[in-house]
Amino acid sequence: MSILPKKNELGFFEIRLESIGGLGANLAGKMLAEAGVLGLGLNGSNFSSYGSEKKGSPVKSFIRFCDRDIEIRAHSPMEEPHVIGVFHEALYN
């Protein structure tokens, strides 16, 4: 029995964090993925997308979780995540 609240057609629960550089979305994504893998026993994957590595540039962090028996082979940005976390009010559009 899965502990994931929802899954897409590939069996993933997906989270996208939207931020600007320096606010911690990259680190938050890493910590969240690690918590799911070590704390909940899920398979998890995390990666971030950002332009130049400087404070104030756009950052997106992507986290995927799935049941332990499913292998994560998808490493592309997600367009329809189950959860979106926005780290700065200027990013609401």
Going across the sheet that includes 13-20, the strands are 43-50, 58-66, 13-20, 83-86
pLDDT of residue 1: 56
Picking from 54, 55, 84, the residue whose alpha carbon sits closest to that of residue 92 is 84
Q: Given pLDDT bands bounded at 50, 70 and 90, which one contains residue 30?
A: very high
Collapsing DSSP to helix, strand or coil, 67 comes out as coil
pTM for this one?
0.89
What superfamily does domain 13-91 belong to in CATH? Pyruvate-ferredoxin oxidoreductase, PFOR, domain III (3.40.920.10)
Q: How far, CA to CA in Å, does 78 sit from each of 12, 23, 34, 61?
A: 11, 21, 19, 10
Written as six digits, the tokens of 90 are 């200027």
Collapsing DSSP to helix, strand or coil, 92 comes out as coil
Note the pLDDT tens digit of each residue in 37-79: 999 999 999 999 887 666 778 899 999 999 999 999 988 999 9
